[in-house]
Structure 1
Amino acid sequence: MAYQIEIIKQSQKIFYYLLEHHELREKKAPELHKAYIEQDEVQTLVKSQADAADSHVEAYGGVIYLIPGQENNFLGYSKGQLKKELCRSNATDKDYYLVQFVILVLLLEFYDGQGSSSKTRDFILLGDLQNSVTDKLKEGAARYSEDEQAQNGMAFTAMREAYESLRSDEKRNRQKTTKEGFMFSILHFLQEQGLIDYIEQDEMIKTTRKLDHFMDWNLLNKNNFERVQRILGAEENEQD
C-alpha cells in the first residue's frame, strides 16, 4: 500500500517524539496526538516503525506510550544496566532477582487484577512494604523446597539470603548495602520512570495514572497474575 508523503512525514514525527519522550500527551503535542488518534494510516505507520524497533505503541487514558519489547536493551534496560542502577556493587543474580521480587510485591499490594479497575488501594507506607517483602520471602522459603522454587521460578531462599545480608539503618542510609538504601534505589528508579510517586517525608508510596493504565490495560495478564498470587500464597491469605 502506497502512502502519501505527508502521512509518512507525520508518522515519522510522532515516532521520533515517542523515542525522545516515551509518551505523547494531547496537552504537550496536540497536533501530533490528534494525527495519531484520528488518522488510521498515521497510526498504522507509527506502529510499524515501533515494531521494527522491537517495541509497540499503545494508547491508555488518552496518553500514547512507546513500550520497549522485553529484550529491547536500546529503548529499555538490560539486566546488567538494571543491576548497576539498582543493586549494590558486585551484585549477583540473586540480588537482581530480589529487585524484581520487591517490585512484584509492590504491584501485588496495589492491584488484584479484578473488576473494572485492578487497583485496590491509594497508597502504602514504606515500612508496610518492607514488612510485606520480609513476610513473603519467609513464607515462600518455608512453603517450597529449593527444587519447587526452581520449578516455580521463585528463588525464595536465595532472595531471602540476599535481603537479610543487607544491614538495617535507622538513619535511612541511602547506601545500597542497607535495606533502606536498597528500597530507596528501587522507589527512586520507579519514580523516574513515572510509575510511582514516593513522598519521602511521609515514607508514602502512591502509583501514578501511567502505572494504573498499564496494569488495567496491558500488564495484568490474568493467568500470569493468578499464577504469581498462587505461588506467593496471596489467594490463601485473602480467604483466611
Structure 2
Amino acid sequence: MSYENEDIQKAQEIFSVLVEKHELSEEANPSLYRAFTQSAEVQMLVKQQGEFSRCDIERYADVIYLIPKEDNLYFGYSRQELKERLCRSNAMNRDYYLAMFVILVILVEFYDGQGTSARTRDFLRTGDLQNKISSYLKEGCDRYDRNEQARVGMAFSEMQHAWESLRSDNALSRRRTTKEGFLYNILHFLEEQGLIAYIEKDEMIKTMPKLDHFMDWNLLNRVNYERVLSVLRHTGEEESDE
C-alpha cells in the first residue's frame, strides 16, 4: 500500500511527539491529534511505527498514548532498573516484589468500580496506604502458607519480611530504609510517569487522567486481565533471593 508524503510526514511528527512525551492530547496538539483521528492512513502509519518499536499506540478519550510492551527495555524499564529506582541499595527480589505490591495496593484502593469510571475515590492518604499495605500482607500470610503462596503466585511472607524490615520514621523521611521513605520514592516515580499527583504537604495521593484512562479502558478490560497478572505476579520462573 502506498502512502502520500503528507501522511508519512504527519505520522512521523505524531510518533516523534509520542516518543518524547509518551502522549499526545487534543488540547496540546490539536492539528496532530486530528490528523491521527481523522486519517486512517496516518493512524495506520503511526501504529506501524509503534509495532516496530515494541509499543502499543492507543487513544483513550482525547489523548493518544505510547505504551511500551512488557518486554520493551528501550522505552520501558527492566526489572533491574526498577529495583535500583524503587528500592534501597543492595535490594533483594523481595524488596522489588514489595514495591510492585505497593503499586498494586494503590490500584486496588482507587479502582474497583463499575460503570463509566472504575475509580471509586478521589484521594488516598499516605498514612492510610501504609496501613493498607500492612493489613493486606498480614491477611495474605494468615490465609496462605508458603506452599499456597507459591501456588497462587504471591509471595506474601517474603514481602511482609521486607516491609517489616523497614523502620518507621516521621512522614517526611526520604530514606529508603524506612517505610515512609520507601513509599515516598515509589510515589514520586509514579508521579514522574504522569500517573498520580503526590501532594506532600497534605500527605495525599490523587490519580491523574492518564492512569484513569488506562484503568478504565485497558487494565480493567477482561481481555487484558491475564496480561496484568503476568506483570504483577511473582512466578516460579523468577530468580530467588539468596
Q: TM-score, normalised by structure 1?
A: 0.91
The alpha carbon displacement at 1:172 in A equals 2.6
Distance 2:5 2:129 in 1: 52
Which residue of structure 2 aligns with residue 212 of structure 1?
Answer: 212
- Opposite residue 194 of structure 1, the aligned amino acid is G
The corresponding residue for 1:238 is none
- The 1:227/1:66 distance shift into structure 2, 3 A limit, reads closer
Partner residue in 2 for 1:235: none
Q: For residues 30-89 of structure 1, what are the alpha-carbon distances to aligned partners after superposition, in whole Å with 9 as ceiling and x for unaligned?
A: 221110011110001100110111001111120110000011110011111111111000
Contact 1:113 1:225 in 2 (8 A): no
Q: Is the 8 A contact 1:36 1:43 kept in 2?
A: yes
- Contact preservation (8 Å) 2:219, 2:228: no
- Counterpart for residue 95 of structure 1: 95
Number of residues of Structure 1 aligned to a counterpart in Structure 2 = 229
Mapping of residues 69-108 of structure 1, within 5 Å: 69-108=69-108
Distance 1:9 1:122, change over 3 A: same
Q: CA separation in 2, counterparts of 1:225 and 1:197?
A: 26
The 8 Å contact of residues 54 and 72 in structure 1, kept in 2 or not, is answered as yes
Correspondence 1:163-174 to 2 at 5 A: 163-170=163-170, 172-174=172-174
Alignment-derived partner of residue 59 in structure 2: 59
Report deviation, 1:115: 2.1
2: CA distance, partners of 1:22 / 1:99: 23
**Is the 2:195–2:207 Cα contact (8 Å) retained in structure 1?**
yes
Aligned AA (1:31): S
Q: 1:171: Cα distance to partner?
A: 5.4
Name the CA distance, whole Å, in 2 between partners of 1:214 and 1:28.
19
Distance 1:8 1:214 in 2: 28
| Superposed structure 1 runs of 4+ greater than 4 Å apart | 223-228
Q: Does 1:149 align with 2:165?
A: no
What is aligned with 1:134? 134
Question: Which whole-Å CA distance do the structure 2 matches of 1:25 and 1:194 have between them?
Answer: 13
Residue 236 (structure 1) aligns with: none
Per mean C-alpha deviation after superposition, the further-off stretch among 67-76 and 109-118 is 109-118
Q: What CA deviation, in whole Å up to 9, does each residue of 1:73-129 have, x standing for no partner?
A: 100111111111110000011100100000000100011152221111111111111
8 Å Cα contact 1:97/1:159 also seen in 2: yes
Change in Cα spacing, 1:226 to 1:10, as seen in structure 2 (3 Å) is closer
| Inter-CA distance 79–41: structure 2 relative to 1 (3 Å threshold) | same
Question: Shift in Å at residue 170 of structure 1?
Answer: 2.1
Alpha carbons 2:87, 2:95 under 8 Å: kept = yes
* Contact residue 18 and residue 66 of structure 1 kept, 8 A: yes
**Native 8 Å contact 1:113 1:220 kept in 2:** no
Q: 1:4 to 1:45 in 2, by over 3 A?
A: same
Question: Partner residue of 2:240?
Answer: none
* Cα distance in 1 between the residues matched to 2:128 and 2:74: 35
Unaligned 5+ runs, structure 1: 232-240
Q: 2-side partners of 1:147 and 1:203: how far apart?
A: 37
> Comparing 197-206 with 108-117, which one deviates more in the overlay?
108-117
Could you say what secondary structure the match of 2:108 adopts?
helix
Q: Alignment identity in percent?
A: 56
Report if the CA contact (8 A) 2:197-2:207 is conserved: yes
> Residue 132 and residue 62 in structure 1: after superposition, are their counterparts in 2 closer, same or farther (change >3 A)?
same
Name 1:14's counterpart in structure 2. 14
In 2, the alpha carbon distance for the partners of 1:47 and 1:69 equals: 13
Distance 2:31 2:209 in 1: 23
RMSD, aligned α-carbons: 1.9
Q: Distance in 2 between matches of 1:3 and 1:191?
A: 39
CA contact (8 A) 2:113 2:120 kept: no
2:191 aligns with 191
